[in-house]
Structure formats: C-alpha cells, structure tokens
C-alpha cells in the first residue's frame, strides 16, 4: 500500500495526489454560478499549475477558462497523473472507467450522491470500487473537495500551490496540515486562518473514504517534512486499530489536534446524511484521544488556535503560568479560567519579586498576575519582565497583556495637539527587532512559550508583525489561556510516555 519506508515521502502513492505532474478535470465549465467545478478549475489555474498540464474534459466545449478542452480523456496527448471528477453521480462511473482505460492511476471524485444518499448511491460506490480494483486506481472521495497543497512540488518549485477546493482564498503557508471528513473544515476556514495567523501547508478533504482513508493520509503526513502539526476533523474512523497505532507513533513528534463531530443524536443523523458514516459514541473517541495524546475539542475556533500554538513547537515543561498585564481585570479573568483549567499561577519568590520591582511603577502590586497598571515603558513590558520571569524558572509559560500598536498611538498623539514625539519615529519593523526578536531567542532556548494579547485586533499593523513573525498573539484574553492549557496537557502526555521531555 505504501512505499514510504523504502523510498522516502516522494515515492508514497499519495504524493501524486498532492503533487500531480498533470491533471485531467471532468465537469468544469465556464459557468461559475451553476457549476461548482468552474471555480475548482479556476483555483487550480490560479495556484500556478503549469497550464499546459491541465486538461479540461468536456463533451461540448472546446475552450474552458482559456484552456483547450478535450472531448474525452482518451483524446489526451498523455496519461494524466491525476483525474479530478466533478460530475453528477450517474456520470461518474463512465468517466472513471475511461480513466482506467487511459491508464490513470490517481483519481479524486468530488461528486456527491453516493453512500450518503441511500441504496442507489451505495451500489454506485460499490461499482466504483470494483473498477478501481480492476484498473489498479487509487482514489480520494467520493463526496469531497480534494486537496490544498501550499508546498506543490516543493522544494523543486518554491511558490506554487495546488488548490482543487471551491474556496478561492488560500491560507498563508506553514507547517500545519489538515485531514478532514468535511470540505468546509478543510477550506472554508481559510479566511479565518489568515486573519488569526494560522499557516497551513496541506489540507485534505477525504469525503466518503471508499478507497483512500484518513489513516492513509495520516501515514503520509508522518514522514512529510513540511508537516509539523496535524489537525483532524473526524466523522468516523474506518481502521481503528491502525489509527491508534499510528497516532501513538506520530503524536509525540507531531502534535495532533482533533474534532470528533459525532456522538449526539442529531450530529450522527447529520453525519449519516453528510458522508454516510455511522458515528460512534463520544466516550470511545475521548478515550482513544487520551490514549494517543491527541488534543481534542468540539470548537472550530479552539481547533485552529490550538494548531496555531503547536506550530511554534515550543512545548512548556509544566503547567505553571505567569501573567503580565497592564489591567487588573483581564488578569483576574485569566487567572480564574487558568485555575479552572487546572493550571497553576505560582506566587513568585522574593528573589523574583525583587527583580520585577525594578521594572514596574510604584503603584503596581508585585504578584502573579503581575498588574503593571498604566505605563508606557515598552522595554520593560516586552523584554525585562518576561526575561526575569523566564530566567527565574518559576513559570512554564507567560501571557502578556497588552501589546498596543505604538505607531498607531503615536499617530493619534500627533493629531491631538500635545507634545511632539519626533524622536519616536520608529517603524513596526524596527520595533519587532527591538521588542520581539531578543525575547523570542530566549523563548526558544528555554522552551517557555510567551503569548501576547493585542486588543487592537488582528488587522492592526503591529499585531500583523507578530503574525508575520509567527509569534502567537490573540485579540482578547480567553484563548491564550486555553492554548497554554493544551500545550501543558501535551507536555504532560510526553512526560508520561517518555519519562522525560521532548528536545
């Protein structure tokens, strides 16, 4: 089934699905508004796929979106590496067989209307599987959206992506990979991901899994050098034993975050209509996740935020959290949520308190949370205080509120008739060098994650500097506490299985 151990990742059979040399597209047209395939073809083109290697197949049209179209796959000048089918279900069988006749070995079937749609659909699925066996075809789907690969033929090609999904937005490139039974979870979230700084490398919509399943892709990602963290959206697990063994093997090296969508009555009904899967009891999945070190959630936002913080690969050594704020209120709220999540907010030693006293205004209480009250000494906030906390060894992670965009504040000041601050003509880039780089070096060296909160929001230029530098920043203070708690949970899992830390 896989050649991975013999010949490396590039020879894994799934590599062709993510990095096809050529692609035949069945069912795309020029009519974007009544044809889902039109946008999918558009996205393949706009990802930078070599145009002369995209072959639209259409019974009537000669030209589709500027590309020469062929009547059937038999007419193509070569055997395409990948067949991509977005036709009505009753048309799929014929073209699938033609793919087989042509010699195509890899097919993605987008079309819905199979086992999730009653007996007729189930029979159709069965016939597809028979043909696949006959012609030795491997296929993804049916009832999926295909793949997104930000590392298309990387590192040979540096700047192209393959996007077969309907969603035209593409996420910033990073080493988070997604495998999902839902095309929505695999693609509709791209806007959100770009907004909050979730950088995705691969996203795979696996649909009904009549052939290739989640376990296959998990196995592929295990050895993928462009995958550091894995996100799973699960409606069912077809090969439970293999899944557990593989997840146990992967999760200590590449953290896995999962959503299991089944487990309640309406959810299971919905899943039956969606991918036709029979969803099992929530408790079974909970115990599988626990056993394999998988971080799980029912929330789509948690899911992406968790993936985001894991992608930094800075795992705390324990669950002691230090909080620095210029606001008592948000400090108290964070403390409460942290304690409810089982985290510890240690009181600082006298030695550390003595150090911190130098960096805070006289009205501030030296405690944890450390409330700086109002102050503009950015260097203390960004460098001196977190450095003292990290070097003390008394905390395993730090949350800092608030990272205000100084440039924007200066613009306001300039327009307000007060004192001029021409001496502060600093750019955000300079500030990044001054305030973020030094502490990031320490963060990495000591393995103490530092999260920031920037209340001006994700579109603020200073907040974007954090995101561009891949430094975790949040708009408000709920999520960083939850994120630290899952890092601590993962750390705890590593300790249990290793008796020691990672690194």
What pairing do the DSSP bridges indicate for beta strands 162-163 and 146-149?
antiparallel
Residue 145, token pair as written in the block: 């959206």
235 interacts with a second copy by CB under 8 A? yes
Q: Which residues contact 228 (CB under 8 A, 6 or more apart)?
A: 175, 176, 254, 310, 311, 313
Q: How many Å apart are CA 186 and CA 143, to the nearest integer?
A: 13
180 interacts with a second copy by CB under 8 A? yes
Q: In what side-by-side order are the strands of the sheet with 473-474? A: 370-371, 321-325, 397-401, 450-453, 473-474
222 interacts with a second copy by CB under 8 A? no
Residue 64, H or E segment: strand 63-64
* Least Cβ distance, residue 409 to a second copy (angstroms): 8
Interacting positions 45-104 with a second copy (CB under 8 A): 45-46, 65-66, 89
Q: Which residues contact 468 (CB under 8 A, 6 or more apart)?
A: none
- Among residues 97, 169, 242, 286, the one that binds a second copy under rule CB under 8 A: 169
Say if residues 104 and 129 touch (Cβ distance below 8 Å): no
233 interacts with a second copy by CB under 8 A? yes
- Among residues 275, 319, 428, 485, the one that binds a second copy under rule CB under 8 A: 275
349 interacts with a second copy by CB under 8 A? no
Give 447 or 454: the residue with its C-beta nearer to a second copy: 454
270 interacts with a second copy by CB under 8 A? yes
- Among residues 47, 48, 113, 252, the one that binds a second copy under rule CB under 8 A: 113
Give 247 or 261: the residue with its C-beta nearer to a second copy: 261
At which residue do the structure tokens 């300079």 appear?
430
Distance from first CA to last CA of the chain, Å, rounded? 32
The residue range among 153-161, 183-191, 246-254, 464-472 that interacts with a second copy, by the rule CB under 8 A, is 183-191
379 interacts with a second copy by CB under 8 A? no
- Among residues 204, 345, 360, 439, the one that binds a second copy under rule CB under 8 A: 345
428 interacts with a second copy by CB under 8 A? no
Q: How many Å apart are CA 66 and CA 348, to the nearest integer?
A: 66
The residue range among 288-296, 326-334, 435-443, 464-472 that interacts with a second copy, by the rule CB under 8 A, is 326-334
Say if residues 282 and 263 touch (Cβ distance below 8 Å): yes
Q: How many Å apart are CA 172 and CA 201, to the nearest integer?
A: 8
Give 282 or 492: the residue with its C-beta nearer to a second copy: 282
283 interacts with a second copy by CB under 8 A? no
Say if residues 388 and 356 touch (Cβ distance below 8 Å): yes
The residue range among 129-137, 330-338, 388-396, 427-435 that interacts with a second copy, by the rule CB under 8 A, is 330-338
Give 94 or 365: the residue with its C-beta nearer to a second copy: 365
Interacting positions 438-477 with a second copy (CB under 8 A): 455-457, 459-460, 475-477
Question: What DSSP string describes 322-337?
Answer: EEEES-HHHHHHHHHH
259 interacts with a second copy by CB under 8 A? yes
- Among residues 57, 261, 388, 473, the one that binds a second copy under rule CB under 8 A: 261
Give strand ranges (E) for 190-336.
200-205, 229-234, 256-260, 295-296, 321-325
The residue range among 6-14, 17-25, 268-276, 429-437 that interacts with a second copy, by the rule CB under 8 A, is 268-276
Interacting positions 352-371 with a second copy (CB under 8 A): 363, 365, 367-369, 371
Interacting positions 396-425 with a second copy (CB under 8 A): 402, 409, 412-413, 416-419, 421, 424
- Among residues 9, 13, 36, 47, the one that binds a second copy under rule CB under 8 A: 36
Interacting positions 189-218 with a second copy (CB under 8 A): 189, 191-192, 195
Peptide bond connecting 437 to the previous residue in cis, omega within 30 degrees of 0? no
Q: Which of 164, 9, 160, 161 is nearest to 82 (CA)?
A: 164
3-state helix, strand, coil in the chain (%, to 5): 45, 15, 40
């Amino acid at each position: 089934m896989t050649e991975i151990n013999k010949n490396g990742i590039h020879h894994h059979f799934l590599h062709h699905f993510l990095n096809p040399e050529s692609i035949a597209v069945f069912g795309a047209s020029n009519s974007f508004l009544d044809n889902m395939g039109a946008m999918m073809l558009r996205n393949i083109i706009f990802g930078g796929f070599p145009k002369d290697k995209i072959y639209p197949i259409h019974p009537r049209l000669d030209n589709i979106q500027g590309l020469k179209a062929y009547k059937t796959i038999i007419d193509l000048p070569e055997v395409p590496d990948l067949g991509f089918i977005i036709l009505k279900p009753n048309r799929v069988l014929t073209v699938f067989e033609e793919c087989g006749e042509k010699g195509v070995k890899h097919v993605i079937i987008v079309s819905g209307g199979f086992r999730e749609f009653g007996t007729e659909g189930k029979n159709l699925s069965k016939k597809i599987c028979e043909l696949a066996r006959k012609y030795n075809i491997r296929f993804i789907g049916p009832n999926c959206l295909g793949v997104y690969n930000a590392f298309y033929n990387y590192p040979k090609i540096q700047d192209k992506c393959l996007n077969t999904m309907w969603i035209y937005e593409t996420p910033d490139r990073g080493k988070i990979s997604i495998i999902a039974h839902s095309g929505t979870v695999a693609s509709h979230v791209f806007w959100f991901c770009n907004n909050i700084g979730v950088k995705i490398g691969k996203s795979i919509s696996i649909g009904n899994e009549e052939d290739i399943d989640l376990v296959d892709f998990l196995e592929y990602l295990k050895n993928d050098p462009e995958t550091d963290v894995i996100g799973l959206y699960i409606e069912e697990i077809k090969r439970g034993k293999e899944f557990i063994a593989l997840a146990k093997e992967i999760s200590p090296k590449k953290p896995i975050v999962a959503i299991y969508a089944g487990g309640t009555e309406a959810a299971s009904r919905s899943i039956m209509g969606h991918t036709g899967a029979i969803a099992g009891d929530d408790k079974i999945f909970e115990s599988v996740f626990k056993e394999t070190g998988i971080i799980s959630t029912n929330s789509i936002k948690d899911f992406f935020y968790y993936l985001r913080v894991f992608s930094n690969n800075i795992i705390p050594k324990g669950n002691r959290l230090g909080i620095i704020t210029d606001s008592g209120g948000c400090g108290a709220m964070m403390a409460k949520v942290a304690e409810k999540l089982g985290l510890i907010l240690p009181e600082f030693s006298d030695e550390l308190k003595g150090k911190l006293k130098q960096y805070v205004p006289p009205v501030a209480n030296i405690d944890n949370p450390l409330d700086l009250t109002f102050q503009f000494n950015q260097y203390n906030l960004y460098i001196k205080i977190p450095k003292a906390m990290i070097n003390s060894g008394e905390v395993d992670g730090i949350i800092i509120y608030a990272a205000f965009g100084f440039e924007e504040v200066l613009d306001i000041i300039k327009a307000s008739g007060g004192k001029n601050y021409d001496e502060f003509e600093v750019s955000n880039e300079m500030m990044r060098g001054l305030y973020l780089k030094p502490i990031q070096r320490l963060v990495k060296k000591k393995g103490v994650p530092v999260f920031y909160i920037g209340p001006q929001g994700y579109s603020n230029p200073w907040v974007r500097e954090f995101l561009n530098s891949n430094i975790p920043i949040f708009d408000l203070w709920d999520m960083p506490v939850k994120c630290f708690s899952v890092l601590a949970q993962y750390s705890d899992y590593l300790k249990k299985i290793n008796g020691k830390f990672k690194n």
